[in-house]
Every structure is written in structure tokens, then in C-alpha cells.
Chains A and B, each alone.
Chain A
Amino acid sequence: MLSVNSYFSKTTSSAPLAIFRIAFGLLMFISMIRFWALGWIDKFYIQPHLFFSYYGFEWIKPLGDLTYVLFFICGLSALFVALGLKYTWAIITFFLSFTYIELMDKTTYLNHYYLVSVISFLLIFLPAGNYFAWDSLRGSRKSFLQIPKWNIDAIKLLLCLVYLFAGMAKLNSEWLLQAMPLKIWLPTKEDLPLIGFLFRYDWMIYLFAWGGALYDLLVPFLLLNRRTRSLGFIMVVFFHLLTAILFPIGMFPYLMIFSALIFFNYQFHQKIIDGLHQILRIKNHKTHQIQNVPFQHSPISKFKTVVLAAFFLIQIGLPFRYMLYPGNLFWTEEGYRWSWRVMLMEKAGNAQFKIVDNASGNWFYVNNEDFLSSFQEKQMATQPDFILQYAHFLYAHFSQQEMKDLSIFVDCFVALNGRKSTRYIDPEFDLTEGYDSFAHKSWILPFNE
């Protein structure tokens, strides 16, 4: 216990946390503007007729035209976070608004949106607004040069978990032995300047697959170790810029690159802050007012510690929950999300729904285009929970008309990682009889290798 206590009483410079806050806030601010400018608010959250909810979060829906206000609040709070202006309120607002947006429709689920939610949740509990922040500049908040060391380590731990889980997820035969799905994706990049020709060679695809897995598994250790840190960071920049060129993954590469700066020592971050002082012409003493008082967590810090301990236990546990389900994880996707499984599959499907009026025996097919955007249809056709939710939507829609006693069946075919498409859902199963839960969905047909 002594060593644990002594670890938690260790302090360090608050400069790295300040730089992390600024970089994260600015990136999120840019990312909100980007999302808005691409017209995605309208496309994803205004246009569609229905939205796919996460199990347990059915009450979270887009807000019509007010959705724009939500994005505005989210973007503004990100800017406040960067500035360190009303930091606590800003980061709480950002976490809540961003997470709300993320939960509005699971069609747009991305691991890096989840990462943003997770980081911003963690930041609520860290004193990131106490140094080189607008608040401390104005004297409305005390400035601390020293904060508990575990505050910084918590962020490092989170980033390491992300890399390690992403790396472990790649240790499967598809990725390592078939080089799938890279073998589908990379050859289409042959027309890229300079590097395109590489993807003509099969061995190069394997090199990318193995290199990617190795990178994810090694880079946390390279970053943690002082002597290999620079090498690690060069790899971070190289790897993420490469993925930015090759794949449509938005802001994720930049988020990872800037986050990795946290691994550098405080002198490095202090230099950045000193540089910023000069550029912004802020007098040093203004942000250095109280030099030697170490940061003390408020009396609720016990509570904070418990919350964060639970948070990390969940972070470590969630990616393993797939083991509780039978069948092939990529096929059923039961326990797939929230686990840092990135770039692991290429999945395509086609689902034809049949509505049967049990009173008359009449039936008809559904034209999915009438209800779903092309993006929603693509996601729906390969994921059982989407298929079920859509069937229940169709039931509600069509049972309003003359027919009351309906059955709904789906004929769905899915192709996974270059295999020939096969039937995905039991076509005899009446989807109106199925309900979402954490239990295994027995009406998913078994995966045939």
C-alpha cells in the first residue's frame, strides 16, 4: 500500500496536460466545423426518416433543426476547452453534447468518435484547465504548475489500451494469413503517386498487415520508454499519415498524432508553452502566478478516484465481452463495438424484407430506398441489430394501414472479407417476434468458412 500511496502522491508539471487540452479542444473544434461544412448534419441527422438507436438509448434522437444548435454548442464548448475558458463546464458540455450526437444514430458509429467521448469523459476529472488557461490568466482560477502524476498517466494508460486492443484484434487469421481486408482495399490505391505501385505486389499487402499489427502492439512501449520515445513518435506520425492518405478516416489520424505528444517529458511541453507565451505576448508571470502550491484535488477526489477506477475497469473489460457470444465475431458482430476493432473487415450485404399480412396471406417486398438513406441501407444489411430494428420500424409503419397482423421476414446475403456472399439471417424467422437484448441472436445463420 505504501508504494501505491507514494505513487498517488507523486506530482509532475501540469504543462503536458495543458498542451493536451489545447490540442484536443482545437482538433474537436475543427472536426465540428468539418462535419458541418461537409453537409453531414443534414445528410445524417435531418434527411433520414428513421434513426438506428443503440440498445438502451432509444430515447436519444436527432432534434430536427435544433440538431444544428447541438453541433454549435458542441463546437463552441470544444473551443472553450482549448482556451481553458470555464474549463469544467466546457468539458462537461462537450462530453455530453458529443456523446449525444454519437448516440443519435448508430449508422455513423466509428471507433474514433467513441475515443473522443472516452477522452472527454476522462478530462472531466483531470485538472486540465488550471495552467496556461484563460481561467488562470484572468485570475478566476488558481494556476498550478504541479499536478498529481497519475493525472497524466491516466491519459497515457487510455492511449496504450487503445493501441494494444487494436493490435490484439489484428491477431487473427483473416488479417495475418489472408491479409484481409487490406487485399481488397490497397490494390485500388494503385493510382496514388509515389507509393501506389507498391500495392501491385502481394507481399507488400502482407507487409502492411503484419506491420500494422506490430505497430499497434509495440508503439505504446516505444512511447513509454524514454530512450525509444522519439522513434516511437516518428512511427506514430508516419503510420497515421499513411492511413490518412490511404483510407477515408477523417480526423482520427490527427487526433492520435497530437495525443501521442503526452508521452514526451514536461520540459518539451514547457517549451511549447513558453513559445506560445511569446507568440501571444502574454507575460509569463500572469500564468505563473502561484508558483509552488501543488495541486490538491478537492474533497470529492475520493469519489473521482472511484469513478476513474471503474472507468478503466470497463475500458479493459468491454473489448473481451465478445467471448460471451457464440459464433464468429466478424459475422455476428455481437460484442464488436467499443473494442478498438478498426479496419478489420470489409462487409457488404443486401437485405430484402417481406411483409406478410397473416389475415389474407398477401405479401409484398419493401423498397428500402423509401425509408433508408444509402448509407443506412449499407450498414443495416450487414448488422443483425440494425435488421431487427428496421423490421420493427416497418411493422409500426405498415400496421398503421389496414393490415394489423403482420409477419416480417428478411432474405439477406452478406459477403465478408472477399468470401462469396451467403445467406445471413434465417429467412423463416419472423422478425416481429425478435427483440433486442444483450443475448445472442439465434436467428443469425452460422458462418460458413
Chain B
Amino acid sequence: MYWGGNPAECHPRHFTKYALMPKSKFLPRGRKDRTMVLVDIRETKSVNASDIFLQVRPGKDFELITILRALLKEQHVGDAQIAETGLTRDVLVDLLERMKVAKFGAIFFGMGLSMTRGKHMNSAALLTLAAELNAFTKFVAMPMRGHGNVTGADVIMRWQTGYPFGISFNRGYSRYNPGEFSTVDVLVRGDTDCAFIIGADPGATMPQPAIDHLRRIPTIVLDPHVTHTSRLAKVHITTAPAGIAAPGTAYRMDEIPLPLRPAIDSPYPSDEQVIRRIRALIDQKPDWMSKSPQRVLSQV
């Protein structure tokens, strides 16, 4: 089941390599042994791949998930409430029956769910639905992430700092508060006096006040291409593209790491090489921190 995503165009290998087509011991006929449900607000190319398409009214995902949870627990749901989602009771009852008798259900949810009205509450509701379905059969849910190695960044930040994103190191250790410490919030508030940007193009996507601030401060960009952000930066360093001309590791959306093997050589250094060289230069400067900051005595 794909919810709020268009894998046919955005994650083209997902059907063939991962979730829909592969043949296996227990699904020897591959696609024929699976049922694919697509939930989205409009007909995308992914509809052609689906067995069942549910067109939910825009902004009504949370309501739809909540109704499914209620029906699953055999609670009363009024016709008017169902009609609000743009779907009918018959369709939802049929869907739930199919989910309950499935051998193994998987829900993949995209930014059409997690970044539209309701945002993280939509994701939480969907994860809860998946958890509750386990009273009947095995069910899991997994987010469909954006482009690039977003999962890898999440995974590493978690093991090094405890948090996936939205982290502040201002106190010398990590603190977490999305909405306060997320990049966009820090930039809009003007709470940073330098920006170091790797493999992202906030100059193309962020709100104007954030872009204005990037232009005001020393902004340094590492990217294989000259991006919108490069044009407003003080420094742009061209790097070799990871996975094409630079080695490394990328984490798949299910957090399985894959080694990257470069196919071609590049005259440019990798991101890693550039950062190591900057780091080595910084190490030569006198450290402004005390040797043992946790033992600093009273300053007064």
C-alpha cells in the first residue's frame, strides 16, 4: 500500500527491486501474488501499477486514517464522516477486510502524507494504524524519503548525537527541537553567523528570509554543481559526485547501508576529502575551549 507518494516517477526502482515485482519463496509469482493499493489525492502514473486506487479528498488523509482505525475496532462511524474523505463505506470495509487477511502488509508513505495538512500527525496516525493491524496480521509501515542520502544523514546523526535532525550544539552537546533548531528556523531567525552547506540547495527551496540571511553571512557550499545557493555563497567548492566519481556509503530508505563504488574518475576532491582538509587546518589553530569544560569553576 502506497500512501501519498508516486513511486512510479519518484522511486522508480521501488516496484521492481523492492516491494511489488520481486519473486520469492513465498510469493513465487511476484506481482501476481501481491495486491497493491494506492491512496493519493490525484491520479498519478502509479495508478497504472495499482489494483485498487483510493482517491482521497485533499487534506483529508488524517480523517481517512482515523476512520480506518475506528472501523478496524468496530466503532461507529457516521456516513457523513466517511463522505468527507471522498470515499464510500463499502470501499473502506472492503479495504480493511483485505488488509486483515493479508499474509504480510506493508504501507509506504510519502511526502503527500507527511508534508501536507496535518504533517507529523498524519504520519503518527498511519504508524498507529499499522501497529494496530498487527492484532490481525503482520503489518509494517515505512516512510518514502526524499532524494539523495537523507536516510544516511539521519542514521549517522542519531548514533553520534542521539537525534536525527533539528540539532543545536550551542551548549557543546546536542539538543533537539524541530521548529527551533531546524535549518530553516535558524536561518529565518538570523541565528547563525556562518553556513556550511553540503549536497543541498536551500537557495532554491527555502523561504525568502532564510535565503536573504544566507546571502548576508559567509556561506560555503560543497556541491558537484553550481546551485542557486552557490550563486549567493561567498565560497563554492566543486566536489566529485558521490556514487559516480566518489566512494562512500549510502543508506537505503529501510536503513540498509550500501557501498558506493565510483564508476568514473573526477578531477575534483570528494566532500569527505574537502572536509578533512578544512578540519586539519582548524586543528592547527589554538582551541578556544578549555581542556575540560565540564569542570569550569564559577566565573564570578
Q: Verify that A and B bind, or say they do not.
A: no
